[in-house]
Amino acid sequence: MKKSLGIIFLSAALVISCKSQNVDDQTSKKDEVSASGLMADETKFVSENKTKSTYSDKPIHLTKADFLEKVMDYEKNPSAWIYKGELPCLIDFYADWCAPCRITSPILEELAREYSGKIHVYKIDVQSEQELAAVFGIQGIPAFLYCPKEGNPSMTSGIAGTPEETKKMFIQNIEGFLLKSKATNL
């Protein structure tokens, strides 16, 4: 994909550079049309694929409505966990005033980039989404809900002693729980 993009843009650049040389006007105009046609087609292709893609390389903030749609509809299925996502997810229950939450925020941003297309990283502000916090019995933050594609989710809370250890903890949980084919509890 990247190679074809490069070839198309290189071709367009060559066509444009040919224009600056002493090439007759007719040929130059044909070349401009071809370059703009390629560029328009490529732009259309990229924008169509961006709209189709549901992967994000940064954490996504969820409301209750988003949670019911993307993760689990506990109103329709109050007694059974039925995960609705196409990828496993890690959900960070946080608050802006929470110091450990502020420590985890850049770590989760890194992990969202590193695991883009493999997992979703979601954030739920417990101040504005109190019902979601209550549904999951959140009593201390930060709290993290790991939701595999199959099987039951698992909840952890707190962070490690350093940001590096905290990132390592997240990676171990993501690799060992979310990305295993048959998930088991943490």
CB atoms within 10 A of CB 3: 7
All residues at 6 or more sequence positions from 31 whose CB lies less than 8 Å from its CB, including other chains: 15, 16, 18, 19, 23
Rg (CA), the chain: 23
Tell me, yes or no, if 147 is annotated catalytic: no
Among residues 18, 89, 98, 147, which one is catalytic? Answer: 98
Q: Is 101 a catalytic residue?
A: yes
In the chain, at which residue ranges do the beta strands (DSSP E only) sit? 60-61, 89-94, 120-125, 143-147, 154-157
How many whole angstroms separate alpha carbon 143 and alpha carbon 121? 13
The active-site residue, picked from 18, 89, 101, 147, is 101
Q: Which residues of 92-123 are buried (b: 16+ CB within 10 A; e: fewer)?
A: bbbeeebeebeebbebbeebbeebbeebbbbb
Active site residues: 98, 101
